[in-house]
């Protein structure tokens, strides 16, 4: 099993070295994007016959060892659909390999036997409510827009339900076009585990284009921007056929249990397509005056921490946080106490250090602010404000380049949401446009 894992790692690294040049040179060459998010009409070819998968040739994992989704603290086997390689969902999607897993779903590369191409099949747990995500996709299907940012947003092909065999659970299944690895996975393979300035610019142009479409035409707030939710596009589908071929020649290790088989995920190689914004499971309809806990904990905007009403500018804050994580060697904020527990007071103290003092108009809108600031706006929390600034935390750049980069970040990382730039305004920022028209 360890030998095969090593082989997978070596294959990933080899592909990275051959495709890295294309990515560094830029996935797009201008602020204009091409491509369609609409699914084409099914061709007239005969349906494919399901393939018969190997019945041996893999490494068996010790049943006592937790693997993949079993390692999630909240894992309950009866909630996960027991998918197996070769299984056909909805009479058309045959599973050919496992792409990944999470606390609420597993994701599988599948062959569309009717349309003769590959899809990504996301099978949710029986307990997961997918109502909001379906509502968002239904709303997007009604939008009549020519906005180019649509091509930087992952579309939905189909939604259907699957009955859990032998159990009463019903699982929602979402079918998407297949995409490559996430930016979180990509940065782990890069030298020093961070992106170059050029790679960050290329990526963020696409994400801002997607957000401009969501905010202006669709009136949707994403709320969950993070490197895990930005995936590389696939320009050459041969990596998918090679993925399927590898399953026949060297099947992934698996743990065979009485009622299910737990497969190891097979990593995709690096692809060099356009970065695409994914996962609308936490998105919200409407872009004004909303409340409630949203966003990944260390990425939360000030208005979310302070339990204030919020609007689409929380996404702009998120973009700044993503940029920092892609380019720097550490998170901008820890938001944790010495015991490692999420702590708002520690988080706000870090914000005070990086952003400076909170403006009175922000504090006046929050019922929580008197816990952390006095009536004059002075920090009174028991946690001391760290002795650093945004300038001292940024260590990769020098001179004018550093000043331009931090100025760009400060257009997003503002206490007051109304002071943050819009996605469209950021697209034309000098730092982001640097080198675009050479």
Catalytic residues: 224
Distance CA 413, CA 421 (A): 10
Structure tokens at 222: 């994403």
Among 421, 418, 395, which residue's Cα sits nearest to residue 408?
421
Residue 122 counted as an annotated binding residue: yes
Residues 6+ apart with CB under 8 A from 221: 214, 215, 283, 284, 286, 287, 290, 311, 312, 314, 315
User: CB within 8 A of 296, min separation 6: which ones?
Assistant: 224, 226
CA nearest 319: which of 218, 396, 205? Answer: 205
Instruction: Determine the length of the chain.
Output: 438
Q: 55: burial class by Cβ within 10 Å (0-12, 13-18, 19+)?
A: exposed
Q: Look-up: residue for tokens 């961070």?
A: 194
Backbone dihedral region of 295: left (phi > 0), alpha (psi from -120 to 50 degrees) or beta? left
Answer for the pair 85, 96: CB distance below 8 angstroms, yes or no: yes
CA distance 244 to 13: 19
Residue 175's beta-bridge partner residues?
121, 158
Query: Is-contact 223 314, C-beta < 8 A?
Result: yes
**CA distance to 194, 200, 328, 331, per residue, from 410 (Å):** 20, 16, 16, 16
Which residue(s) pair with 172 in the sheet? 161
Q: Which residues are annotated as a binding site?
A: 122
- Binding site for ATP, residues? 122
């Amino acid at each position: 099993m360890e030998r095969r894992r090593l082989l997978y790692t070596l294959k990933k690294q080899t592909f990275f070295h051959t495709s890295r040049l294309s990515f560094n040179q830029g996935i797009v060459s201008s602020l204009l994007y091409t491509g369609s998010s609409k699914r084409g009409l099914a061709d007239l070819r005969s349906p494919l016959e399901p393939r018969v998968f190997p019945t041996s040739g893999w490494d068996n994992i010790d049943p006592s060892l937790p693997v993949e989704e079993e390692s999630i603290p909240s894992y309950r086997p009866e909630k996960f659909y027991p998918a197996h390689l070769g299984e056909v969902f909805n009479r058309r999607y045959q599973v050919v390999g496992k792409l990944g897993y999470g606390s609420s779903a597993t994701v599988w590369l599948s062959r569309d036997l009717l349309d003769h191409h590959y899809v990504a099949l996301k099978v949710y747990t029986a307990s997961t409510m997918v109502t909001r995500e379906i509502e968002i996709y239904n709303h997007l299907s009604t939008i009549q827009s020519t906005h180019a940012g649509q091509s930087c947003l992952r579309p939905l092909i189909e939604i259907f339900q699957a009955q859990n065999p032998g159990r009463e659970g019903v699982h929602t299944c979402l079918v998407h076009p297949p995409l490559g690895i996430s930016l979180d996975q990509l940065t782990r393979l890069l030298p020093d585990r961070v992106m170059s300035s050029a790679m960050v610019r290329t990526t963020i142009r696409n994400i801002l284009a997607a957000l401009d479409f969501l905010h202006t035409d669709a009136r949707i707030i994403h709320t969950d921007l993070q490197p895990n939710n930005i995936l590389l596009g696939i320009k050459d589908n041969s990596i998918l056929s090679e993925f399927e071929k590898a399953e026949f020649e060297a099947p992934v290790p698996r743990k065979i249990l009485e009622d299910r088989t737990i497969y190891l995920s097979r990593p995709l190689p690096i692809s060099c397509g356009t970065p695409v914004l994914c996962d609308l499971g936490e998105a919200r309809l409407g872009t004004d005056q909303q409340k409630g806990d949203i966003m990944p904990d260390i990425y939360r905007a000030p208005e979310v921490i302070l339990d204030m009403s919020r609007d689409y500018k929380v996404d702009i804050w998120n973009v700044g946080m993503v940029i920092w994580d892609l380019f720097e060697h550490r998170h901008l904020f820890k938001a944790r106490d010495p015991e490692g527990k999420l702590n708002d007071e520690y988080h706000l103290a870090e914000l005070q250090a990086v952003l400076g003092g909170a403006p009175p108009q922000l504090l006046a809108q929050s019922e929580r602010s008197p816990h952390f600031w006095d009536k004059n706006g002075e920090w009174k929390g028991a946690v001391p404000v760290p002795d650093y600034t945004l300038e001292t935390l940024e260590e990769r750049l020098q001179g004018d380049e550093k000043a331009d980069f931090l100025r760009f970040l400060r257009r997003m990382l503002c206490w007051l949401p109304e002071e943050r730039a819009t996605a469209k305004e950021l697209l034309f920022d000098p730092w982001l446009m640097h080198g675009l028209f050479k």
